[in-house]
Structure 1
Amino acid sequence: MEHLLVYIALLMLLYCLFSGRIGSWGITMPMVFLAIGVAFSFGGPVLTLASVGVFHNLAEITLALLLFADATVLRRQTLENIRQRTFRMLAFGLPCAIFLGAIINLLLLPSWPLWEACLLAALLAPTDAALGQSIQSNEYIPQALRDVINAESGLNDGLALPFVIFFAGLAIGGGEGDHSGTKLLPLIASQIGLGAFVGLAGGFAAGKLRNFVLRRNMMDQGLGKAVSLVLVGFIFFAADHVGGNSFIAVFIGGIAFANAVDGPVHHARHFLEGDGQFLAILSFFFIGMLFVPEAFNYLTMNDLLIVGISLFAVRPVAIWLSLIGTETTINERLFYGWFGPRGLATVLFAVFVVMDFEGVKNIDGIFTIVITAVLISAYAHGITAKYAPEIFKLKSRTKQDE
């Protein structure tokens, strides 16, 4: 095991040193480490409940750090510019994607129970903050479009989780009992409402308190960057403690913190993003090493068809419909619809279902489709991210009137 860790660390070091040149070829970090993980899977560790648990904890930490870091760029003026599009994509696009996905799943998987088809659709709906990094760093894409993608990917995984919990509960309960349909709205309301409240209150209070202690030179500057890291942990666990959605809380907390502090928060973002990227490398490596080989054992052509329709049709159609009536061009709608990569959130929620909802009949099929979707998405969205301005003919606009 020790020699394995040495090789992994060496590959991570080499990638970080040459990441700029590798990125210039249109090759992204998830593409690299998914492939490396698959290569290491030959004769490497096998999938066990313990390894699944380790990945679950790693993915939660990674996602929380990346969400908070991404949220800190959304200052007040940025939020004003993107509010309509982001709201439409979350409030209408996400439920529409789940609805359309469930219909496709029922048509292609007629033997599956209704709620398992809906569960699969909910798992494939959230998009990924880590895979979206290649879009965020592409300066040839107009900033307003990048901000919309950033805000949507930051919030939609938290919004998708109540649907995942609800459908998983129905799948094991047959649509009756504690997970009946009347529970969906209270579940969504508590997850979103409490999560947003904790994030808003925690981020705003921490930002104002930071201003207070800095003005009075009461904080050790060496620990300044650690404040944001500890704040992420506090908000994440506080939201979970009160029954709110931790990922929504962390993202809202990042927005509140960034808008409460005096001056820029680049130092906090860079610190968290560095830690988050390191953990993201490990997460995608483990996905490639533990989950991809297992998924290939069960993969069918029908599974590939479902993945293809989900990536190439379900989300693009859902986002297109959600943006009707907004001042978006055809190319912008196509851009928003295509760049919804599936990644850590999708795998994390699938692992959560495996660990906490025993009795889902087709869990092997669900997990296979989820992992295959993430694998294909990493390469399809990673390759096209570099060429997005040319593919979608994106041009900077003098005014992003929402």
Structure 2
Amino acid sequence: MTFTTTTAIALIIFLGILSQWVAWKISKPAIVIMSLCGLIIGPLFNIIIPSEIIGEGMYKTIISLSVALILFEGSLSLNFEEIEDTKFTIKRIVIFGAFIAWILGSLAAHFIADLSITTSLVIGAILIVTGPTVILPLLRQAKLDKRVSAILKWEGILVDPLGAILAVFSLELARVISSSGGSDVKILIHFMLGVVAAVIIGYFAAKFMSIALREHYFPEYLKPAIVLAIVIGVFTLSELISHETGLLAVTVLGVAMGNMKISEINDILHFNENISILLTSSVFIMLTASLSREILISVFEPRIILFVLSMLFVVRPLSIWISTIGTDITLQEKALVGWIAPRGIVALTVTGYFSNLLVAQGYKDAEILLALTFALVIVTVFAHGFSIQPLAKKLGVAHDGKPGLIIVGSNKFSVALADFLATVDIPVLIVEYSEYHLKHAIEMDIEHHRGEILYEVANYNLDLVIYKNMLLNTPIPLYNIMVANEFTGRFGRNNVCIVNVLGDKIKNEFKELRHIQSTRLGDYRATYLNLVELVNQGYKFTATKITSEFSTKDYYEKSDFRKINILAMTESGDITFFTTTGQPKVSEGDYIVSLTPPDEMGYNEINFESFEKYEKVLTNIRDKFQKNFNN
């Protein structure tokens, strides 16, 4: 079948996004699905060969620009203040561990994969990358302890742009070493001027964008698009001055902008994240589809297999163990961090860029780089993806407790619910921007985080690995909906619930609130102000166990009508909210947690005398109403 260029590109984009969705659906790394799609349409069945259909020149342009945009998006999230606050262990791994991994990886490439010094230095630099696009899904799956999770997460983010910068440096350094006498002054000066020019271009472009965004030179709807154009312009200008410095320039641009405290940076981050997802998905399929059958077969060459094994069992463990000497990291933590280092989309895309560059400059052995990197990517994604959770549990560095709850918004109800769930070992984190509203949570020693959750998560300041559910409990209806929409994809629609602020009657007066997709907590009484007021009146959280002798039917029929059912809870700690659209399925052995009036009896009991008393009162009211109605 012959495809037009338009059809081929459309199919590649469709398969890339489809792969992302399927990966999310089955909770596996997207790179595995994208690899299969690329191999199927490419070397296996020759349906689409991107470099042939869109042309070699356009193919290389798309790859290089995509890598530039992906690296800009990654570097934009780096904040020096946050780096200063990270643990000493993370700094050692990022600074010394990356350097050791580069040297050892280069040696392995030269002596095991039989590559030239130049090619070895470049690929050794590229393969230090463990990007957040691969490591973060694995961390969510594994539910590691916060300490280990932080180390792996920040390493992935910080080293992501460093790999490409080091690859550029490696290429120029190799040129200097391989020149006559190893000290060709012209090559060295050219390299230094190229690096200086890239840094200057990137920094002053960031300075200009900072001023332009603060002074509102551009309309709101154009800001993200203009930033995108500036990134492409900076990359192109730096490349014109000195080849291979474009990636350095856009990385400097991203890091500088990320640390200039630009208020509009969140909108830009969100826009660039969407562009990055589209590009990484499409480019990865293009790269794998462009692999020839010869390259695919060469993956099974003994030298490539040995190289991959050396990276897994020698280079990574040694770089971690050496760089963490003298730190407070435990042996178990070292063992896990020394094993987990999945390579992903950035590694393969950057390799594709430098592979073409090296081949064009006469390094024919660079033709095997894509096969070598592809082999490492596939092996690490599968090996680390399927081993991280059982290994972490075996080493005792995984969260093997009950899944947690995030509560956005701090008030008396939030704190009371968090305090109750703590008694049954369910971790709860209250996130609140206002320090004043956090006072009660601090007094009750409830785990909390001060900040705006959308910003904190976007900048990787908040670790949500152990949390499965989210409750939105702020007094701002539109903000609750915005946060719910943002996190529904992460937690699942049924695991995100909103506390109704206005009540149904008032809600219908606001067209923005009439069609809320996320579920709302409890029944018509479970409004923001009412829940807080009930807690102030002395209402407490109680849990009633459903047994063979006391079924859910018994509970609903005999329970005090003043109770407000909040959630159902299993023995393993899984919780499901009661919502305005329905009741959760409650099985034998589960608990129903409710907000109960102070004169009710305690845990796991029903006050039948109180129930009968209220039933008599209601009967008298009904009889009087009927009598008056008849008269």
Give yes or no for the alignment of 1:373 onto 2:372: no
SS at match of 1:343: helix
Q: Summarize the alignment of residues 323-362 of structure 1 with structure 2, pairs less than 5 Å apart.
A: 323-333=324-334, 334-335=336-337, 338-339=340-341, 341=343, 342-355=347-360, 357-358=361-362, 360-362=363-365
* Distance change >3 Å, CA 128–CA 278, structure 1 → 2: same
User: Which residue does 1:175 correspond to in 2?
Assistant: 178
Rounded to whole Å, the distance in 2 between the matches of 1:121 and 1:46 is 28
Give the letter for the 1:339 counterpart: A
**Cα deviation code 1:282-318 (max 9, x no counterpart):** 1111122111634123341221111221234213322
* Distance change >3 Å, CA 292–CA 376, structure 1 → 2: farther
8 Å CA contact 2:78–2:258 kept in 1: the answer is: yes
More moved, 69-78 vs 137-146 = 137-146
Q: CA RMSD in A?
A: 4.0
Q: Summarize the alignment of residues 2-401 of structure 1 with structure 2, pairs less than 5 Å apart.
A: 2=4, 4=8, 7-12=11-16, 14-15=18-19, 18-19=21-22, 22-23=23-24, 25-41=26-42, 42-46=45-49, 53-82=57-86, 88-89=92-93, 91-108=95-112, 115=118, 117-118=120-121, 120-128=123-131, 130-132=133-135, 134=137, 140=143, 142=146, 144-145=150-151, 146-167=153-174, 169=175, 175-177=178-180, 180=183, 189-190=192-193, 192-213=195-216, 218-243=217-242, 245-263=245-263, 265-291=265-291, 293-299=293-299, 300-333=301-334, 334-335=336-337, 338-339=340-341, 341=343, 342-355=347-360, 357-358=361-362, 360-383=363-386, 390=393, 393=397
1:351 positional shift:
2.3
Rounded to whole Å, the distance in 2 between the matches of 1:73 and 1:323 is 25
* Distance change >3 Å, CA 336–CA 310, structure 1 → 2: closer
1:190 positional shift:
4.7
Give the letter for the 1:150 counterpart: I
1:150 positional shift:
0.3
1:350 positional shift:
1.7
Rounded to whole Å, the distance in 1 between the matches of 2:258 and 2:392 is 29
Give the letter for the 2:269 counterpart: R
**RCO greater where, 1 or 2, for CA within 8 Å and sep 6 or more?**
1
**Cα deviation code 1:361-389 (max 9, x no counterpart):** 53444443233223334444555678896
Rounded to whole Å, the distance in 1 between the matches of 2:203 and 2:332 is 34
SS at match of 2:78: coil
User: Which residue does 2:591 correspond to in 1?
Assistant: none
* Distance change >3 Å, CA 338–CA 99, structure 1 → 2: same
8 Å CA contact 2:342–2:381 kept in 1: the answer is: no
8 Å CA contact 2:213–2:264 kept in 1: the answer is: no
Rounded to whole Å, the distance in 1 between the matches of 2:141 and 2:234 is 30
8 Å CA contact 1:123–1:346 kept in 2: the answer is: yes
Deviation beyond 6 Å, 4+ runs, structure 1: 136-139, 181-185, 385-389, 395-400
Rounded to whole Å, the distance in 2 between the matches of 1:182 and 1:90 is 31
More moved, 187-196 vs 221-230 = 187-196
Rounded to whole Å, the distance in 1 between the matches of 2:187 and 2:127 is 19
Structure 1 or 2: more strand by fraction: 2
* Distance change >3 Å, CA 138–CA 248, structure 1 → 2: farther
User: Which residue does 2:542 correspond to in 1?
Assistant: none
8 Å CA contact 1:58–1:279 kept in 2: the answer is: no
1:256 positional shift:
2.0
SS at match of 2:178: coil
Rounded to whole Å, the distance in 2 between the matches of 1:183 and 1:387 is 54
More moved, 33-42 vs 386-395 = 386-395
Give the letter for the 2:308 counterpart: V
8 Å CA contact 1:191–1:245 kept in 2: the answer is: yes
1:268 positional shift:
0.8
Give the letter for the 1:147 counterpart: W
1:274 positional shift:
0.8
SS at match of 2:46: coil
Give the letter for the 1:162 counterpart: F
8 Å CA contact 2:129–2:159 kept in 1: the answer is: no
* Distance change >3 Å, CA 326–CA 15, structure 1 → 2: same
Identity fraction in percent: 18
* Distance change >3 Å, CA 160–CA 5, structure 1 → 2: closer
Rounded to whole Å, the distance in 1 between the matches of 2:159 and 2:338 is 10
**Cα deviation code 1:21-61 (max 9, x no counterpart):** x3253422221111101111213345868755444322322
1:162 positional shift:
1.8
SS at match of 2:33: helix
Rounded to whole Å, the distance in 1 between the matches of 2:55 and 2:391 is 36
Rounded to whole Å, the distance in 1 between the matches of 2:356 and 2:331 is 37
Rounded to whole Å, the distance in 2 between the matches of 1:318 and 1:58 is 34
Structure 1 or 2: more helix by fraction: 1
Give the letter for the 1:346 counterpart: T
Under a length normalisation based on structure 2, what TM-score does the superposition of the two structures give?
A: 0.52
Q: Number of matched residues?
A: 386
**Cα deviation code 1:117-173 (max 9, x no counterpart):** 545534544444644453687795647432332011122221222213443x47xxx
Rounded to whole Å, the distance in 2 between the matches of 1:263 and 1:391 is 44
User: Which residue does 2:618 correspond to in 1?
Assistant: none
8 Å CA contact 1:72–1:269 kept in 2: the answer is: yes
SS at match of 1:77: helix
1:271 positional shift:
0.7
**Cα deviation code 1:178-232 (max 9, x no counterpart):** 975778876765555443343333223311321112xxxx532221221321232
8 Å CA contact 2:13–2:281 kept in 1: the answer is: no
8 Å CA contact 1:210–1:261 kept in 2: the answer is: no
Structure 1 runs not aligned, ≥5 long = none
* Distance change >3 Å, CA 120–CA 205, structure 1 → 2: closer
Structure showing greater Rg = 2
Rounded to whole Å, the distance in 2 between the matches of 1:209 and 1:313 is 49
* Distance change >3 Å, CA 125–CA 230, structure 1 → 2: same
